[in-house]
Structure 1
């Protein structure tokens, strides 16, 4: 029975919400939670006898953190299985080791969900990544203005920017219009007459068509290692993303230099051919 219960618990909170708990399963969970609580209480008693110098150290902090995780998991299973409660998203823990991880619903075929953090990328028309931001507990609509302000501080000549619909809000439309000469920010929902005139403007439509080019930059980041972060901790996650962005820009510089070198070789070859003729 213990092996079956362990399998059920390893399904995680998202899958456990779709299970049907019969009386036998509830009894097994009740027994298992009692065992967990007894073990956690025993650990707490042991920790209470440890010297203060150890408790104030990193190891002591880790002990307290893991104890907190243990009681939290017991509480979640009790509320979900025994009390029949639907667990709020903010109470769930998706990774004990990388506790900053979020449940990301991509909405893509074959990739229903991922664990990690979203990264917003701002790319120039030449394919260079000008700015990026790791998004923690932050929807797209809350970072549009901040991203533009930070990018303009680095690149004062920035005068136009195209966004996805997820970045739209009335406030963003107004504030971005004050920062940029041209804002390409599609509106979600129904259009007003002014929205229709703006989004059917040829310049707006052309910019939207070019916007899809940023997907190639995102794909290049993923292909060269940014689809998975092997480092531990939030700060290392951010550093890994930043290094990947630098690597992508260096790769872009290399591609430009290679193209120039190839063009120079082709010019030399054409010149030799003309001289030989």
Structure 2
């Protein structure tokens, strides 16, 4: 049975919104994780993204051709949230499956985002599991998710713009036009005379 996200947290597991990321880091991994953290903590965006992720059901080959796997039966697969985290990292870092497997198994912060507690969780991702699951997370799927995120950003910007008073914006915009500043004098212009 595939789940969008595991509803029951384990002992030692941190909520996604409570994971601390270094704000001064210039590396690309914390920046990607910060975006995923915002996506997860915004319920309306998260619902739209998870609706897209639910379409990524694996297929099995039969005599009549490929058919979708029954998501209600069978062994548990990788959750859709883990698929999103690892898929965005793979496409955002332009990394191969070996690097994503190494990050998923060894990087502490990424493991926290995947829902693994630090001290008693020995969950390990195999290369074939990573390859099979992330092969469905294509750039087209990421583009659809990006469209959802961009629309949410526009809605947030529009909401923030409405809260700002138009009079305050007009005053602060016109003020620099009517103030005069003295022209700076350089030391070499005086000595050249």
Bin of the TM-score, shorter chain as denominator length: under 0.3
Which has a greater percent of strand? 1
Which has a greater percent of helix? 1
Larger Rg belongs to: 1
TM-score (norm 1): 0.19
TM-score (norm 2): 0.25
